[in-house]
């Protein structure tokens, strides 16, 4: 941790040197001492220090300076560092100004020049003030800050990306956190340029694109090798498992992910059916453990990187990302899972991330404290989200078209929901419209049996209505009409198979119609969806990858 600072300002160079020398001799072990002869320079420095989240314990300022009086300087400095102790250096003739300053800038002390001997006239005063400051001082969060409006899609996108990539940050909502304004002022920006990301070194990024942000926070952006044994596309449970087993078995492994690792599972508030965790664990925790494990074995992870095309050249696989990055590998495992089905309502796009969320319960939960919120869908993920949100929200309403949850959700979830008093089930109901100015403010619910329509105030609507594979970019491999990728025996049932497959052997269990390109997890036709199955398929895909590598 960095030492707190003592800042000294005096335009008289001789006095400045003298006080700097004395203060440094006495306090250099516990404080960094910075001295300047310009009040304006000191103010610029203070703004920079604010952005860098530095702590300032003490300002010592001369009263008579040409750029501004010491009292004015201390007043300005106080706006950014209100808890810092303030000492005014005065000549005998300025005592009156100093006394007035006690009230106006809450001056802690005025020190008469000269202060010799310092052991008697300087150190006891300064030590006393520093002890006082230390007693109340709480070290500031030293890492990254995101500053923005709570219900802004842009802020949501940045928070989701950093948390999903295990990059810690402090969220500052400008509407609630008074400190946030100080960062905006120090960076000379306005509300229209929010959200801001303030990095550890004090650099400020206004509305950054994810690849820029990723680079600035140190996430790997370029592959380090010319050729990989296996390239895994998608870092959900299947891709993460494949990467752990691949690199653990000594394969040169690259994992690419278009947003942040974890896949659908990362938005699960509590996974209760994963082997070895009897009291459940959150998707974020499972992802954190998997990332730590796989990077420990040497997997390289590139994020955010979206794969645009794959092709085969002389048996080697060539994968191109949307940003132009090209990766060469001997094999590929496609583990791109499925994406949430969007609710088809007019104008809904405008509110995505601004009150309407697809599977983001865990990230937005705290913002829903004491609100009435709505969850659309009756499957396991909707029910899990409802259970989780019931700990924060005043009221959780599950909106389903059917009569009840019995046919769509697991028994244990239905039972838990029935025992949770602040969860209501709105059966035979659908969302008919959403409205609001900049953020979601109102939803219209329609009873599908009676046709009755109700308008209700709503700040948050979470949607869990099924999913589809997004595989339109995967060329050359055989898929079914819904986009699921065919593998192994399923391929052999297809009429076109003999025209595509030219090897003597049959395709392996999770191999596609292109030898050396494998599939794992929800995107594979016939896969049993779920986290355990995805993890199992990831491990299995590596087994067949190894077999294939022995053949070439």
Ligand X SMILES: Cc1cc2nc3c(=O)[nH]c(=O)nc-3n(C[C@H](O)[C@H](O)[C@H](O)COP(=O)(O)OP(=O)(O)OC[C@H]3O[C@@H](n4cnc5c(N)ncnc54)[C@H](O)[C@@H]3O)c2cc1C
Binding site for ligand X (CB under 6 A): 233-239, 256-259, 263-265, 267-268, 271, 273, 306-307, 335-338, 359, 380-381, 384-385, 470, 473, 521-522, 529-532, 534
In the three-class reduction of DSSP (H, G, I as helix; E, B as strand; rest coil), residue 115 is classed as coil
Shortest spacing between CB 362 and ligand X, in angstroms: 9
- Closest to ligand X by CB, 90 or 471: 471
- By beta-carbon proximity to ligand X, the closer residue of 8 and 334 is 334
The count of other CB atoms within 10 Å of the CB of residue 343 is: 17
Minimal CA–CA distance to 162: which of 123, 116, 120, 212? 212
How many Cα neighbours within 13 Å face the side chain of 249? 19
Which residues does residue 311 pair with via DSSP β-bridges, in sequence order? 318
52 CA to centre of own chain: 20
Q: How far is the CB of 329 from ligand X (least distance, A)?
A: 14
* Minimum separation from the CB atom of position 521 to ligand X (A): 2
For ligand X, give the closer residue by CB, 184 or 527.
527
Which is closer to ligand X, CB of 4 or CB of 237?
Answer: 237
In the complex, what is the shortest distance from the CB of residue 527 to ligand X, in angstroms, rounded to a whole number?
7
Q: How far is the CB of 249 from ligand X (least distance, A)?
A: 19
Going through 314-435 in order, the beta strands assigned E by DSSP cover 316-321, 326-334, 339-340, 356-358, 372-376, 395-399, 423-426, 429-435
Least gap, CB of 428 to ligand X (angstroms):
24
Which is nearer to ligand X, 101 or 531 (by Cβ)? 531
Buried b (16+ CB within 10 A) or exposed e, 239-273: bbbbbbbbbbeebbbbbbbbbbbbbbbbbbbbbbe
Nearer to ligand X, 60 or 382 (CB): 382
Query: What b/e sequence results for 458-469 when a residue is b if at least 16 CB atoms lie within 10 Å of its CB, and e otherwise?
Result: bbbbbbbbebeb
Closest separation in Å from C-beta 423 to ligand X: 16
Interacting residues of 530 by C-beta distance below 8 A, sequence separation 6+? 273
Closest separation in Å from C-beta 392 to ligand X = 16
Instruction: Please calculate the CA angle 294-470-345 and round it to the nearest 5 degrees.
Output: 125
Considering the complex, what minimum distance in angstroms separates the CB of residue 412 from ligand X?
11
Nearer to ligand X, 259 or 545 (CB): 259
Lookup: tokens for 44:
């610029």
CA atoms within 13 A on the CB side of 310: 25
Closer to ligand X by Cβ: residue 272 or 442: 272
Shortest distance in whole angstroms from residue 380 CB to ligand X:
6
**Rounded (10°) angle between helices 178-186 and 70-80:** 120
Q: Which is nearer to ligand X, 143 or 211 (CB)?
A: 211
Q: Of the two residues 114 and 476, which places its CB atom closer to ligand X in the complex? A: 476
Residue 537 makes CB contacts below 8 A (sequence gap 6+) with: 238, 241, 510, 520, 521, 524, 527
User: What distance in Å separates the CA atoms of residue 457 and residue 477, rounded to the nearest whole number?
Assistant: 47
Say which residue the tokens 């007043």 belong to: 75
């Amino acid at each position: 941790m960095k030492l707190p600072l003592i800042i000294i300002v005096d335009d008289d160079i001789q006095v400045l040197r003298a006080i700097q020398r004395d203060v440094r001799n006495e306090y250099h072990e516990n404080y960094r001492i910075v001295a300047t002869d310009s009040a304006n320079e000191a103010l610029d420095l203070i703004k920079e220090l604010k952005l860098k989240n530095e702590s300032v314990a003490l300002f010592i300022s001369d009263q008579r300076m040409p750029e501004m009086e010491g009292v004015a300087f201390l007043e300005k400095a106080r706006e950014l560092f209100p808890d810092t102790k303030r000492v005014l250096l005065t000549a005998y003739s300025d005592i009156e100004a100093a006394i007035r300053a006690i009230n106006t800038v809450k001056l802690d002390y005025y020190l008469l020049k000269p202060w010799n001997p310092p052991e008697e006239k300087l150190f006891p005063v300064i030590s006393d003030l520093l002890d006082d400051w230390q007693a109340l001082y709480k070290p500031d969060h030293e890492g990254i800050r995101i500053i923005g409006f709570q219900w802004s899609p842009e802020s949501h996108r940045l928070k989701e990306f950093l948390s999903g990539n295990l990059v810690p940050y402090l969220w500052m909502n400008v509407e609630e956190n008074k400190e946030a304004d100080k960062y905006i002022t120090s960076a000379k920006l306005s509300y229209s340029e929010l959200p801001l990301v303030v990095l550890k070194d004090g650099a400020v990024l206004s509305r950054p694109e994810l690849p820029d942000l990723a680079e600035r926070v140190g996430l790997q952006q370029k592959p380090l090798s010319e050729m990989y044994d296996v390239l895994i596309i998608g870092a959900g449970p299947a891709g993460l498992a494949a990467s752990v087993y691949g690199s653990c078995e000594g394969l040169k492994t690259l994992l690419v992910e278009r947003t942040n690792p974890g896949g659908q599972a990362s938005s699960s508030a509590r996974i209760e059916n994963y082997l070895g965790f009897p009291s459940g664990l959150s998707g974020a925790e499972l992802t954190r453990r998997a990332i730590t494990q796989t990077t420990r074995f040497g997997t390289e992870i590139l994020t955010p990187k979206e794969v645009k095309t794959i092709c085969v050249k002389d048996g080697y696989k060539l994968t191109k990302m949307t940003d132009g990055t090209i990766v060469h590998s001997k094999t590929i495992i496609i583990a791109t899972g499925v994406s949430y089905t969007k609710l088809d309502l007019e104008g809904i796009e405008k509110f995505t991330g601004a009150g309407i969320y697809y599977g983001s319960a865990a990230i937005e939960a705290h913002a829903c404290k004491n609100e009435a919120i709505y969850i659309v869908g009756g499957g396991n993920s909707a029910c899990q989200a409802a259970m989780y949100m019931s700990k924060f929200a005043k009221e959780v309403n599950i909106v389903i078209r059917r009569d009840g949850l019995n046919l769509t959700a697991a028994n244990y979830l239905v039972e838990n929901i029935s025992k949770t008093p602040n969860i209501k089930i709105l059966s035979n109901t659908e969302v008919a419209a959403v409205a609001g100015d900049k953020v979601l403010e109102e939803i219209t619910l329609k009873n599908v049996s009676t046709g009755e329509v109700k308008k209700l105030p709503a700040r948050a609507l979470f949607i869990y209505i099924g999913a589809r594979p997004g595989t339109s970019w995967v060329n050359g491999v055989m898929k079914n009409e819904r986009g699921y990728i065919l593998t192994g025996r399923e391929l052999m049932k297809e009429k076109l198979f003999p025209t595509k497959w030219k090897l003597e052997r049959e395709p392996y269990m999770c191999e596609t119609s292109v030898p050396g390109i494998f599939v794992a997890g929800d995107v594979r036709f016939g896969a049993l969806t779920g986290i355990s199955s995805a993890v199992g398929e990831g491990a299995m895909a590596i087994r067949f990858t190894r077999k294939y590598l022995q053949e070439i």
